[in-house]
Structure 1
Amino acid sequence: MNRIKGSIFFSVFAAMLGLMLIAPIMPPLIRELGMRESHSGLIISLGSIAMALMAPVWGRISDMKGRKPVILIGFIGMAISCTLFAVTLYGGLNQWITGGLLLTLLIVIRSLIGMFIPAVLSSAQAYMGDVTEGEERSGGMAIISAANGLGLVFGPAIAGAFTIIGLLWPLYFGIVIAIAAYMIALWFIPAAKPVIQEKPTKVSPFQRGLGVYLAAGLVTMAGIMTLQVIGGFYFQDQLALSPAATARMVSFGLMFSGAAMLIMQLIQMKWLKWQPVRMILMGSLFLLASMLLFLVYNQLFVYYLSFFLFGIGSGLMMPGFMAGASLAVSKEQQGGAAGLVAAVQGISAVVTPILTTTLYQVDKHFPFMLVAVLVAIMSFILWGSKNNSSRTTAKSVSL
């Protein structure tokens, strides 16, 4: 079991790492290619749309064909598409490909990357749902969440380190990590029979008990994306930092968040073992506290503390909504539910950057205020649904 969980952890980590290696290198590459800044947003956003659309599809395929084959297909596609992306960028830098053809190729290939990565994410989460039951499910999803969080944090850091050698080197590393992850999945993840032998029952995001966890996932990922997209601008404006100092400050802050996330998830797995609703509600308190500190105070130490609290909150909320979504559906629908969870990540990656940057131009505090309001509303709805469920259960028992 530990071998399976370790292999699933590395698979999710490698997929998220491959995804996050691209974002930091796009702005300088776009300028080197003589393209406009808006082209970078177009390339990344369309790739995220492909991720949101394909995640539920891969989840359903894994229900019918098995989790391991879909994970392997995901890594093969990830390696090939990253190779094509690197070759296209190399051709553009050397003026072999230019103009509209270059932009079209970059959009298409980035969309391919967005298509294949959720094959790993949704199938790995569904596999974890297959091998865990009841209270153990929350701990299993904490492993998935930890891998997600580490990929989100270390992807940009590793990309930054490789750019010292050259702008395309993070992509070369992404190709290598995809191949390594493929080999590990091939050797260490046991093959399992498909969960169902016929066309699966379609999972609706609005079906009873599932929608509220998907909403919690959307809010959680919106908070994470807001900090990544707006954080640099906000802290530079608030503290009057130089670009280099801003980069260092945000890097340290994200490291604190990543460390807090990992620590919280280890505590959850080993000792707390809270159920999904409690994890989300407790995590939302930490997330709200971090947003309020970001808004009220203007000191570097307080900002670092806010990053740490944010990591604790997201470290509870991510496995909470993943486990909740998994427990809300039947065994035959694990792949579909996992696909919807991965789709939520893709939707957040499309909507949040556009929305928060627009709000930031109106007032620099608005993005953080929006996250705080969304977290509060989501917590209130979740608390209400929990109380309604408890009353329904009590009534049925009395009858």
Structure 2
Amino acid sequence: MNRKAFLLLGFIMFLTMTGYGIVFPILPFLANDLHLSALQMSSLIIIWAVAQLITAPLWGRMADKIGRKPVLLFGVFGFGVAFLVLLFAQNYWQLLLLRMIGAALSSGTQPAAYSMVADQTEKKTRSQAIAKMGAVNGLGFLCGPFLGALISPLGVMAPFIVAGCLAFITLPFIVLYIKDSKAENTEEVRPDSKRETLSFWKSLAMVTKTGYWDLYTIIFGISLAASSFFGLIGYFMIARFDASPTLVSLAFSTQAGTSVVVQFLLLQKVYKYWDDETVTKIGLMITAAGYCFISFSPAIWALFFGCLLTGLGHSLVRPTTTALLSKRNEMGQGITMGLQHSMDSLGRIIGPIWGGWIFSFAVSAPFITSAIITLLLLGITYMTSNHKKIEMKNRHNKMTSHH
């Protein structure tokens, strides 16, 4: 992919995710101003993921039909609208409806952006490119809360205004400088014309097809485990170590910061030594070890080491799995990335609900189950890998006997 175009696309995604990160910690204070309960507050977070679960594949399909740029443009515009309209919410139901509409409007942003990256990179370098795009997203999300803390003294609504403005600032850059990759697809991607014959509903069914189901399951599982981590690590640290807000923030920063650094600086070297499947297996092993360290941490240092391991593991698994999905050639990149975003959203819906429920029985239970889920994903990876080897061997034997 053209370096200038990649940097510009990364800058756009960074600003967008910074806006999202600004708002995330402030949302509880807005909910408090409207006198909402904890359950209502949770529903505001979950409804965002539900709306993206439903609409991301639709936007992905649209990106295959009309091009990536229009969907990216509308998605970023939707991001801005999603935050600014919250200024007009006067009660819970208005806030819930506006969150749902905002998520639906903006859910095409990531499928379109990742489709552009996939369209314009060769298979051998795609994992690195997607990893860097993921790192940019993570960096934006990491910077957002810090910026939100600086802005919050101006009023509870100030971060929402800034978040909306950050999204709108990127719109001229998209219009003027981002080219639609669908118009310049490589020979690997150009079979979009053939893929158009695959209906939307048949595209959805690809989630269950051999070569896809295992990768989508990894996306779902790793998201489910991670959402339990992000939702409950603070409560766990308070319950076990009587941790201060500073320590809790540091734990989040350790996990997210490690992921960003690895995706930016180390993955390129990792891919020189191991193929995508091996990197995924190693990442899942490290992630499971991280959750175990957190679950059974005898001291705060062990918990921070667990956070570092989970950040490292996620940075290996997520971009590699996404790249493997993009290398499949049976449906358009848009719907492929849309379904990936959808499965990620499904994990973010179920994870906090499951983690919150099981936390009431044992404070370490959410992290133990996250470790178990990650190990099951590792088992699936080994199973599908062995199945592929057997298929290739049988194919080779048939060809040999035929000749």
CA contact (8 A) 1:200 1:333 kept: no
Alignment-mate amino acid for residue 234 of structure 2? G
Deviation string, structure 1 residues 122-181 (Cα, Å, up to 9, x no partner)? 111111110112211111211222133224433333323322322112111111210122
CA distance in 1, matches of 2:11, 2:214: 28
Deviation string, structure 1 residues 6-52 (Cα, Å, up to 9, x no partner)? 22323333343333333312222222222222221222212211111
Q: Give the aligned partner of residue 95 of structure 1.
A: none
Q: Does 1:186 align with 2:175?
A: yes
Q: Give the aligned partner of residue 149 of structure 1.
A: 138
Q: Give the aligned partner of residue 44 of structure 2.
A: 43
Q: Give the aligned partner of residue 375 of structure 1.
A: 374
Q: Does 1:229 align with 2:225?
A: no
* Alignment CA distance shift 1:192-1:293 (3 Å): closer
Q: Does 1:358 align with 2:360?
A: no
CA contact (8 A) 1:15 1:121 kept: no
Deviation string, structure 1 residues 267-311 (Cα, Å, up to 9, x no partner)? 454322243322211111111111111122232222222211111
CA contact (8 A) 1:72 1:186 kept: yes
CA apart distance, 1:383: 0.9
Please, which runs of 5 or more residues in structure 1 have no aligned partner? 93-101
CA distance in 2, matches of 1:258, 1:179: 26
Secondary structure at 1:228 match in 2: helix
Q: Give the aligned partner of residue 72 of structure 2.
A: 71
CA distance in 2, matches of 1:270, 1:193: 26
CA apart distance, 1:60: 0.4
**Which runs of structure 2 are paired with 1:1-399 in the superposition (5 Å)?**
1-88=2-89, 92=90, 102-193=91-182, 196=192, 199=196, 201=198, 202=200, 203=203, 204-241=206-243, 245=244, 247-273=245-271, 274-330=274-330, 332-398=331-397, 399=399
Please identify, of 335-344 and 157-166, the stretch whose mean Cα deviation from structure 2 is larger: 157-166
Among the aligned pairs, what percent are the same residue? Answer: 19
Q: How many aligned positions are there?
A: 382
Deviation string, structure 1 residues 88-124 (Cα, Å, up to 9, x no partner)? 3xxx3xxxxxxxxx22221111012211232111111
Secondary structure at 1:22 match in 2: helix
CA apart distance, 1:200: 5.2
* Alignment CA distance shift 1:148-1:344 (3 Å): farther
CA apart distance, 1:79: 1.5
CA distance in 2, matches of 1:160, 1:351: 29
Secondary structure at 1:164 match in 2: helix
CA distance in 2, matches of 1:276, 1:76: 34
Alignment-mate amino acid for residue 366 of structure 2? P
What TM-score, normalized by structure 1, do the two folds share? Answer: 0.90
What TM-score, normalized by structure 2, do the two folds share? Answer: 0.89
Secondary structure at 2:210 match in 1: coil
Please, which runs of 5 or more residues in structure 2 have no aligned partner? 184-189
Secondary structure at 1:170 match in 2: helix
